Structure 1
Amino acid sequence: MTNFYSFHGTVTAINDFFTGQNGEGCTKMYTLQNEMGAIVNFVVSPTTFFVDHEIVRVGDQVTGYYNGDLPAILIYPPQYPAIVMVKENPQQNVKVDYFNNQLLSSDGDLKLNLSPNTRIRLTNGQPFSLYPGNRDLIVLYTITTRSIPAQTTPQRIIVLC
Structure 2
Amino acid sequence: MINFHSFNGTITMISDFPIGQDDEEAGCYKLMSVENNSDELVNFVVTPSTYFVDHVAVKVGDRVTGYYDGDAPTTLIYPPQYEALVMVKENQNQHVKVDYFNHQLVSSDGQLALNISPYTQIVLTNGQTFTQPPTNRDLIVVYGPATFSIPAQTTPYKIIVLCIKK
Q: TM-score, normalised by structure 1?
A: 0.99
Q: 1:40 Cα deviation (Å)?
A: 0.1
Q: Percent identity?
A: 63
In the alignment, which residue of structure 2 is the partner of 1:69? Answer: 71
Q: Secondary structure at the match of 1:52?
A: helix
Displaced runs of 4 or more, over 2 A: none
Deviation at 1:127, TM superposition (A): 0.2
Q: How many equivalent pairs are there? A: 161
Q: Deviations over 1:90-109 (max 9, x none)?
A: 00000000000100000000
Matches within 5 A, 1:1-161: 1-20=1-20, 21=22, 22-161=24-163
Residues in 2 aligned to 1:37 and 1:145: alpha-carbon distance in whole angstroms:
32
Q: Deviations over 1:26-83 (max 9, x none)?
A: 0000000000000000000000000000010000000000000111100000000000
| TM-align CA RMSD | 0.5
Shift of 1:146: 1.2
- For structure 1, which runs of at least 5 residues remain unmatched after alignment? none
SS in 2 for 1:62: strand
TM-score, structure 2 length as denominator? 0.96
Structure 2 unaligned segments of length 5 or more: list them: none
SS in 1 for 2:25: coil
